[in-house]
Structure 1
């Protein structure tokens, strides 16, 4: 059975690695560091199986909040090439994009640029379905999903749309006094079910891709054209 490639992205601190860990059932030993400035496209793939279907989950560094200066274009371009080569050669392209957003958080320019960089630039103007996972909602009332009901209109005003959304907590929280459970166990267990259902429901059977050269050239052309800030530096 072909492996399905799922690319997770989002700003620094959004909870990408913690969310991916929910699919793996254990600690990620080498999470992506998202502390670098600019857009790095640095990524790490993790293997998992859901309902007898194999997945590659890519933890990918995108634009960061408060980044200053620019990533060296040589490093960023090399990371982009490596990501594209991995996606196009190993198992046939991108099957799903997952945008991870942490609450509380504002819909900043960085958030919007992250979305458009991957959905429009990297995946050639909406060729791949995209979903959103919102983390940090363990204290949301009456339910975690209430956050999306309150905030959906803000995203739609900026034409940031998703095929589906899961509102979750990606942490079990502090242990209780007797160390028998954790504060967010109930919400966390529900969240594990929600994120797995989100993947199974929205991930396409076949991935989208182009030739390596065409894919790289198209992505860089889009980035040069659309970035308003000096996130990338080209010589």
Structure 2
């Protein structure tokens, strides 16, 4: 068997209040991430957690829920910029093996679609497999996976394409049996989509953001049409014109300063 990276890198993103920290603990099989029912966010920085199961090691990087309503524009931009820098950081950690999108069972809102597209299309250029984890299904009638069967056509209609899904509950509550079933489910889909030979960890070519940064330089530094990226952020990521401009300005500053 060929040598593999020491760790598999999983980037967890999605809506605030969907139980992302509980999902980290579910995958790890122990409490490694602090959970809270408070409406305020714990941090605007991404956090890294280690998990081991079935003989493999995983690094799970938890990001702030970008659409949390209590985040003002400056904090929202901070969260996006931190996610951008996290993906850069993973260049030195072997690349990105999997995106794990966490959403609470409910309606597929425009905000959720924006969050999904921001990571999948804008930050990772559709080059990383995505798994969706639907949480808070402890009271689902019948099998938890029935939720996906009822709703998968809506996801396809909204061009919300994923490589795999997991219908789970990340809290024990009154259904510890479903909690254990959920751990098996999420671990299985993570393992299957990051298995040896499944796909190489995305590094963006020879360097994580070589093509991305080159494109940004062209778009933001005037070698092409400098405002082209702003309509893309507005149309595909659902950002307002003001937020899109501020985000583009921030990324432009990163490029100019050499941090990208």
Q: TM-score range by the shorter chain?
A: 0.7 to 0.9
Which residues in structure 2 correspond to 1:164-183 (within 5 Å)? 164-173=164-173, 183=174
Structure 2 residue aligned with 1:106: 107
Structure 1 residue aligned with 2:89: 86
- Inter-CA distance 208–31: structure 2 relative to 1 (3 Å threshold): farther
Q: Which stretch of structure 1 is more off in the superposition, 70-79 or 93-102?
A: 70-79
Structure 2 residue aligned with 1:54: 57
- Inter-CA distance 102–9: structure 2 relative to 1 (3 Å threshold): same
Structure 2 residue aligned with 1:176: none
Distance in 2, matches of 1:88 and 1:185, equals 38
Q: Deviations over 1:129-154 (max 9, x none)?
A: 11111001111111101101111111
What SS is found at the alignment partner of 1:195?
Answer: helix
Give the aligned length.
219
- Inter-CA distance 117–47: structure 2 relative to 1 (3 Å threshold): same
Distance in 2, matches of 1:223 and 1:107, equals 25
Structure 2 residue aligned with 1:10: 14
TM-aligned CA deviation for residue 219 of structure 1: 7.7
Residue 3 of structure 2 is aligned to residue 24 of structure 1: no
- Inter-CA distance 70–145: structure 2 relative to 1 (3 Å threshold): same
Structure 1 residue aligned with 2:201: 207
Give the greater-gyration-radius structure (CA): 2
Residue 115 of structure 2 is aligned to residue 119 of structure 1: no
TM-aligned CA deviation for residue 78 of structure 1: 5.5
- Inter-CA distance 156–65: structure 2 relative to 1 (3 Å threshold): farther
Q: Which stretch of structure 1 is more off in the superposition, 203-212 or 148-157?
A: 203-212
Structure 2 residue aligned with 1:64: 67
Q: Which runs of 5+ in 2 are unaligned?
A: 220-227, 250-260
TM-aligned CA deviation for residue 55 of structure 1: 0.9
Counterpart contact for 1:121–1:219, Cα < 8 Å: no
Distance in 1, matches of 2:216 and 2:98, equals 17
Residue 99 of structure 2 is aligned to residue 97 of structure 1: yes
RMSD: 2.9
